[in-house]
A and B are shown apart, each in its own frame.
Chain A
Amino acid sequence: MPVLFLFATVLAVVVFFLPAGPDGSTAWTGLNFIYSPDMSRLGEPGVWLASAGQIFFTLSVGMGSLQAYASYLSTKDDIVLNGVATAATNETAEVVLGGSIAIPAAVVFFGVTGVMAVAQSGSFNLGFATMPVVFQQLPAGQLLGAFWLGLLVLAGLTSSVAMLTPILAFFREEFGVPRERAAVAMGVVTFVFGLMHIMWLEHGFLDEWDYWAGTFGLVVLAVIETVLFMWVFGPANAWRSIHQGADITLPAIFKFVMTFVTPIYLLVILCWWGVTDAWPLLRMERVSEEAAPYVLLSRGVMVLFAITFVVLIRMAWKRNGYDDRAGFAEVGAGRAGISEVSR
């Protein structure tokens, strides 16, 4: 973690001292671009969905990683303070460091119009395609490029471990698959499907996953988690669980926010998006004829994964004799699970 921050700080300092680009743009032009939002875009549901998906993705909400981390805690651990520290550190990395590197550097070399064109050509082009070009034009560019890609690899690896841990735990705990065998199987599946994303990157294969799984899917799962935690588990139980072992108390307004504002806000975004954006996206109206087969295949693989996991969960449910009418029970000690479903 400190190494990641060190890499990013060095890069941010280098970017701030870059000489002006061909059109006179500097890093400050890039910062001005980032911090001068176009308020008219707030009228588009896709912007709200993207921002909700972005914050859920970076905080690992709605993908099982937090449950994996939580399983290592005891009821004595302070999840309020640790949660605030984690979210704040993440925002420092994104807003202060991230916001001072990729876009300001790209603006210096390509100008604001060029950067917007690159960003619109694909979600990942700015980071993966533009930055190496940027580094080629810097003094000690190869070294700085290695720093940057090293940063991305480290961040990607640690996130992958967190994201795959719940699936590994699922196979181990529900089907008794040994850890090594489950890890190898997941590694093979990840490698094979990862290759598809790399080979067909320019055809939008990865962008489809980023949109439907990494944005839309996360918002849907976040709504389900919020409703389960605050409505099914109950606001009083949820509030008590959050503060078990905590030194600081969250302001009471957050109980109201979590119970009403968050689920209603997310449902409104989803309904608004469903009315205005869903149909053209599903019909692939903005997809070129050449990219259409890859986009369809990408969506097909996602649906296949979703169906497979629903079937596996149902199998585990039956195999282990869970009673879905038994409700939730608070765990008194030991693992900090908030919902031990009675067997």
Chain B
Amino acid sequence: MTTGAIVFMALSWTFVLGLTIWSFWRVLQKQRKLNARD
């Protein structure tokens, strides 16, 4: 793989995986708060 392709792939993977992990972490955190309130 060329350096450009590796950088492009690393950036896109980091962005989508980072956003997915962060959003699911927030969803679970919210769920935990709602459960604790109940």
Which stretch (A30-38, A119-127, A162-170, A226-234) binds chain B?
Answer: A30-38
A88 at the interface (CB under 8 A from B): yes
Point out the residues of chain A lying under 8 angstroms from B1, CB to CB.
Answer: 28, 31-32, 35
Partner of A35, one of B8, B16, B19: B8
B30 at the interface (CB under 8 A from A): yes
Query: What size tier do the contact residues of chain B reach?
Result: 10 to 19
Query: What size tier do the contact residues of chain A reach?
Result: 20 to 34
Point out the residues of chain A lying under 8 angstroms from B17, CB to CB.
Answer: 92, 96
Please judge, given known A-B contacts A91-B16, A95-B16, A96-B16, whether A85 and B23 are in contact too, CB under 8 Å. Answer: yes
Residue of A nearest to B1 (CB): A32
Q: Would B2 and A89 count as touching, CB distance under 8 A? A: no
In the docked arrangement, what's the CA distance between A95 and B11, Å?
Answer: 11
A248 at the interface (CB under 8 A from B): yes
A160 at the interface (CB under 8 A from B): no
Point out the residues of chain A lying under 8 angstroms from B19, CB to CB.
Answer: 84, 88, 91
Please judge, given known A-B contacts A81-B26, A88-B23, whether A95 and B5 are in contact too, CB under 8 Å. Answer: no
A-to-B contact residues, CB < 8 Å: 28, 31-32, 34-37, 78, 81-82, 84-85, 88-89, 91-92, 95-96, 247-248
Given contacts A88-B16, A88-B23, 18 further A-B contacts (CB under 8 A): A31-B9, A32-B1, A35-B1, A35-B4, A35-B12, A36-B5, A36-B8, A81-B23, A81-B27, A85-B20, A85-B23, A85-B27, A88-B19, A89-B23, A91-B16, A92-B16, A95-B12, A96-B16
